[in-house]
Amino acid sequence: MKKDDCPVVVICGASAGVGRATAHAFAAAGYAVGLLARSDQGLAAATAELEAYATPTLAISADVADANAVALAAQRFEAELGPIDVWVNSAMVTVFAAIEQLTPEEIRRVTEVTYLGAVHGTLAALPLMRARNRGVIIQVGSALAYRAIPLQSAYCAAKFALRGFTDSLRCELIHQRSEVKVCMVQLPAINTPQFDWARNKLGQRVQPVPPIHDPGVAARAILSVASAPPRELWVGLPTLKAIIGNQFFPGLLDRLLARRAWQGQLSEGEPEPAGDNLFHSVDGLHEVQGRFTRRSRGHALALSSTRVTALLGTCAVLLLLLLI
């Protein structure tokens, strides 16, 4: 299965949504692709799709909440595909509910997958990359890693935690003069199946807070940082507005989101009775896109956090000069 001239990427959460779209993007770019997810059915479908690119693929079924399973999968990816160049942590679960509706078990599970799953992936990839002093670890984040919203407290908290973990890791790699790089890609609302298989206690169908973007937007952004990773990549104008706005006007955003983000996440109709994927995978919904394709944007602005900071600094200097 090894192909010496292929770089290797491993994608966690590869059976659907952003992870599956990212697998397509890397395969099209000539990468050998390792797919990791819980669903055998979803992995089989993703693998079949990737055959069109004529690059090696390997699918392994594992729950990212199981650190040992992820570590063993990493060893197998290396043995069968070759040295891992890029590791993408994209697996996630969420619960749509007000905080008083959540149980400790639900909060724990969201944390185990969305936060600890990325930690487990990082811990599995890091020693392999350190041995060669090269490699890129990409954390798939969200605007919600900076600005929390109502009805997704456990998910927001997990993304906040992942950002803190990643910042610590980045500092350590710099201190150690390591050539291993880490980048967090902060995404806007994406049209994925999660809104039909997430646990939902709200009594209505749920949706991303508009504007909604196609998973291809996320996949292209993730691929773009693999060769020259910035500190962070902020994708979509809504992400930039949320992150920058929260730095300057957090109290105002509290009130705006209290009014708009609650209803903004509700859609018409009752939730589908097919079950949810919080503790077990759900077959039949493993696709790249969700049900919002007609409302999804195919393109989005993407800027590194460093460039945004530089632009804001330049604007501040110009404003100061005008006031003098």
Q: Is the pLDDT of residue 293 over 80?
A: yes
Write out pLDDT tens, residues 255-282: 999 999 999 999 877 676 668 999 999 9
Length of the chain: 324
Characterise 269 by phi-psi region: left (phi > 0), alpha (psi -120 to 50), beta (else): left
Write out pLDDT tens, residues 123-168: 999 999 999 999 999 999 999 999 999 999 999 999 999 999 999 9
| Whole-number Å distance between alpha carbons of 26 and 315 | 36
Residue 55 structure tokens: 């690059």
Mean pLDDT within 223-239 = 96
Q: Is the pLDDT of residue 316 over 70?
A: no
Contact (CB, 8 A) for 17 and 281: no
Write out pLDDT tens, residues 19-34: 999 999 999 999 999 9
Q: Is the pLDDT of residue 178 over 60?
A: yes
Torsion sign over Cα 33, 37, 40, 45? negative
> What is the DSSP pairing of strand 136-142 with strand 57-61?
unpaired
Residue 140 bridge partners (DSSP): 185
What pLDDT does 287 receive?
Answer: 94
Residue 11 structure tokens: 């994608």
- Residue 6 CB coordination number (10 Å): 17
CA dihedral 76, 108, 221, 241 (to 10 degrees): -170
Going by C-alpha positions, the residue among 182, 212, 183, 207 that lies closest to residue 196 is 207
Question: Which candidate in 31, 115, 146, 155 is catalytic?
Answer: 155
Residue 146: active-site member = no
How would you label 81-99 residue by residue, b for 16+ Cβ within 10 Å and e otherwise?
bbebbbbbbbbbbbbbbee
pLDDT band for 312, please (50, 70, 90 cuts): low
Contact (CB, 8 A) for 272 and 195: no
Burial label for 251, CB within 10 Å (0-12, 13-18, 19+), is exposed
pTM for the model stands at: 0.94
